[in-house]
Amino acid sequence: MATVDLVLPHHRYTIHIAPGLLADLGSMARKAAPHDRATLIIDDKITDTHGQAALASLKAASFDPLATTMTASEGHKNLATVQSLYHKLLDEHLERRSPVIALGGGIVGDTGGFVAASYLRGVPFIQCPTTLLAMVDASVGGKVGINMPQGKNLIGAFHQPVLVVIDTDTLNTLPKRDFICGLAECVKHGLIRDPELFDWIDQNINAILAQDSATLVELIERNVRIKAAVVMEDEKEAGVRAHLNFGHTFAHAIEAGTEYGRYLHGEAVSLGMVAAARLAAASGRCDSTVVDRLVALLKKTGLPTQANDLPTNDKLMSIMQSDKKVADGQVRLVLPDQLGKVSIVNDTPAHAIAAAWNTLR
Ligand code: GLY
């Protein structure tokens, strides 16, 4: 088993990564959050498979669990779902020491985490991510929250988990398209901070796509180490944590501009990273080889690097202006300086952003 420790001034937790780990969820949860009760929130697509395994493990460790499901769509990551979960926990008299455990992808983790952050002013939270994207990004670092009609993730909190349990076998039932989406965040980690990881993904791409068990553990461990290091440096996104948003301002505009129906998050991030890198190269910030290497690796993973069906630049630019990362009315972009190094840039002219959008078409 691989483990990564995340140490903050007032909190520390371990991220465990191994195949078959759900069988040990109960015993690990008991150590991290000792109580007789627990709430298990399960993505309703995996209730009968991983949900049953998690439930059996909790019961074997003498938990009396409240199991509930949620539909993992952006439309369900909202206050109505949170309110219905509050009612269930209150009706069952769940107490302050009983953990909330989220089993699923980022949507279940974000929603379950928001419930954990706010129920009785906060209860222990355990992340059991079952998508590659949630394993390498969303489940680590404590960002939890929900969507509003006005936009994604506008209501939320920082609520660090007490434990993260990554069972890599759960990826066996993940649709291939979703698995590939997780690779966008892995490539991102390499580009913003770790050229060796970038090269490693390139060299091991066949084993990664074949979902070789040992390769997956190494891929996830390497990425979790980067995510954990960033969070340890800057838990509340006052500085370096914003680097994780590389490609995301473009990506959010693509997702919102296509009504969240055409591109999965990782696909939009892939396109967003290409646009951001081309913008950086066009303005002389980085060498064009950074763009070439990024595009080549994204193509190898199967992620899109070109999109002929994007909304107009006017629409995309107006969504970018309403992004929560806008500061003092200026779009904040994360742009590469070189492979493994990025900077936050606040003064990019609108015509340069429009030109970057055009390179994707
Ligand atoms: N997913 C970006 C962050 O956790 O900061």
CA–CA dist 265, 347 (Å, integer):
26
Both tokens assigned to 137 = 């990004």
Question: What's the confidence (pLDDT) of residue 100?
Answer: 98
Output the CA 21–ligand 1 centroid distance in Å: 24
141 lines ligand 1 (CB under 6 A): yes
Question: What's the confidence (pLDDT) of residue 43?
Answer: 98
244 lines ligand 1 (CB under 6 A): yes
> What proportion of the chain, given as a percentage, has pLDDT over 70?
99
324 pLDDT more than 70: no
Give the residue among 204, 170, 171, 172 at the shortest CA–CA distance from 187: 204
Spatial strand order of the sheet with 64-70 comes to 2-8, 11-18, 163-167, 125-129, 100-104, 37-43, 64-70
Both tokens assigned to 332 = 């904040």
Atom of ligand 1 nearest to the CA of 242: 5
Output the CA 157–ligand 1 centroid distance in Å: 12
Atom of ligand 1 nearest to the CA of 143: 4
Q: Which of 10, 93, 121, 351 is catalytic?
A: 121
Average pLDDT in the 316-328 region? 81
Question: What's the confidence (pLDDT) of residue 288?
Answer: 98
Strands (E), the chain: 2-8, 11-18, 37-43, 64-70, 100-104, 125-129, 143-148, 151-158, 163-167, 333-338, 341-345
235 has catalytic annotation: no
Closest residue by Cα to atom 3, ligand 1, is 244
245 has catalytic annotation: yes
143 has catalytic annotation: yes
Segment 257-271, tens digit of pLDDT? 999 889 999 999 999
Segment 6-55, tens digit of pLDDT? 999 999 999 999 999 999 999 999 999 999 999 999 999 999 999 999 99
Question: What's the confidence (pLDDT) of residue 330?
Answer: 82
Output the CA 231–ligand 1 centroid distance in Å: 8
Output the CA 242–ligand 1 centroid distance in Å: 8
Segment 24-35, tens digit of pLDDT? 999 999 999 999
Which homologous superfamily is 176-358 in? Dehydroquinate synthase-like - alpha domain (1.20.1090.10)
Average pLDDT in the 227-250 region? 97
State the fold for domain 2-173.
Rossmann fold (3.40.50)
Segment 70-122, tens digit of pLDDT? 999 999 999 999 999 999 999 999 999 999 999 999 999 999 999 999 999 99
121 has catalytic annotation: yes
Question: What's the confidence (pLDDT) of residue 18?
Answer: 98
SS3 312: coil
Segment 132-153, tens digit of pLDDT? 999 999 999 999 999 998 888 9
If one residue of 8, 144, 243, 244 were mutated to test the ligand 1 pocket, choosing by the most ligand atoms within 8 A of its CB, it would be 244
Q: pLDDT averaged over the chain?
A: 96
Report yes or no on whether pTM surpasses 0.85.
yes
Question: What's the confidence (pLDDT) of residue 35?
Answer: 95
Q: Which of 265, 278, 285, 293 is catalytic?
A: 265
Give the residue among 305, 220, 229, 219 at the shortest CA–CA distance from 269: 305
Output the CA 140–ligand 1 centroid distance in Å: 8
227 pLDDT more than 90: yes
Query: pLDDT tier at 323 (50, 70, 90 boundaries)?
Result: confident
Q: Would you say the CATH fold of 176-358 matches that of 2-173? A: no
Question: What's the confidence (pLDDT) of residue 179?
Answer: 98
Q: Which of 37, 237, 300, 325 is catalytic?
A: 237
177 has catalytic annotation: no
* DSSP output for 151-170: EEEEEEEE---SEEEEEGGG
Domain boundaries, the chain: 2-173, 176-358
Segment 166-179, tens digit of pLDDT? 999 999 999 999 99
